[in-house]
């Protein structure tokens, strides 16, 4: 990052290559929308480049870039919620897709319908339905594997709040995946 700040021409592409996977995965899992997530992940790196001289060396670079990614993802979620409140066609389509998948999940056997990709898709959708503030903490912890302290720094909240949000998010996720889990447990 120091080299990026002093405009070393090779440093920024290298930094993008190194962190693109983590940022793209984080944003994708939070939004559950690959195309939009790719665009948003690019925006994360553009923000890093624009503010490269304001990076504080006191914290890890990964914390800084995850903070930017989390904030952009939050903004996108809120924008979608506002749009959904206007009952746009996109939102309606998304809601209908949710219903179709829920019905399929609850009526058909795991062996015939929930192959690996479908199962992952269902889990991804379940995560996407967890409320934003819980979802971000959940993805940072259970998908990105960040320690609680770093999540607190990324989200700008106390460590105790992080723990309670993650506990709550895990409970919600388990509840949403209940039909799948029950089937998975059947002989």
DSSP characters over 39-93: HHHHHHHHHHHHTGGG--TTS-HHHHHHHHHHHHHHHHHHHHHHHHHTT-HHHHH
Check residue 162 for interaction with another protein (CB under 8 A).
no
Interface residue with another protein, options 113, 143, 157, 161 (CB under 8 A): 143
Check residue 58 for interaction with another protein (CB under 8 A).
no
Q: How far is the CB of 155 from another protein (least distance, A)?
A: 17
43 vs 132, beta carbon nearer another protein: 43
State the virtual CA torsion across 32, 61, 165, 135 in degrees, nearest 10: 0
Interface residue with another protein, options 81, 95, 96, 184 (CB under 8 A): 184
Distances from the Cα of 93 to the Cα of 6, 85, 99, angstroms: 47, 14, 10
Interface residue with another protein, options 2, 49, 78, 100 (CB under 8 A): 49
75 vs 167, beta carbon nearer another protein: 167
Phi/psi region, residue 108 (left: phi>0; alpha: psi -120 to 50; beta: rest), is beta
Interface residue with another protein, options 1, 11, 91, 123 (CB under 8 A): 123
Query: Residue 43 CB: number of other CB atoms within 10 A?
Result: 16
Return residues touching another protein (CB under 8 A). 12-13, 16-17, 20-21, 23-25, 28-29, 34, 37-38, 41-43, 45-46, 49-54, 119-120, 123-124, 127, 138, 142-143, 163, 166-167, 170, 173-174, 177-178, 180-182, 184-185
């Amino acid at each position: 990052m120091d080299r990026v700040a002093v405009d070393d021409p090779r440093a920024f592409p290298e930094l993008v290559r190194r962190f693109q996977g983590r940022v793209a995965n984080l944003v994708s899992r939070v939004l559950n929308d690959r195309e939009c997530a790719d665009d948003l992940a690019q925006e994360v790196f553009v923000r890093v480049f624009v503010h490269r001289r304001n990076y504080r060396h006191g914290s890890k670079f990964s914390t800084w870039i995850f903070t930017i990614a989390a904030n952009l993802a939050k903004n996108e979620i809120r924008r979608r919620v506002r749009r959904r409140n206007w009952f746009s066609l996109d939102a309606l389509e998304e809601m209908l897709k949710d219903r179709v998948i829920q019905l399929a999940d609850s009526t058909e056997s795991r062996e015939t319908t929930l192959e690996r990709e479908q199962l992952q898709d269902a889990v991804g959708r379940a995560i996407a339905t967890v409320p934003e503030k819980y979802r971000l903490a959940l993805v940072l912890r259970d998908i990105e594997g960040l320690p609680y302290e770093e999540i607190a720094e990324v989200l700008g909240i106390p460590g105790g709040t992080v723990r309670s949000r993650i506990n709550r998010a895990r409970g919600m996720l388990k509840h949403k995946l209940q039909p799948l889990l029950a089937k998975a447990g059947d002989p």
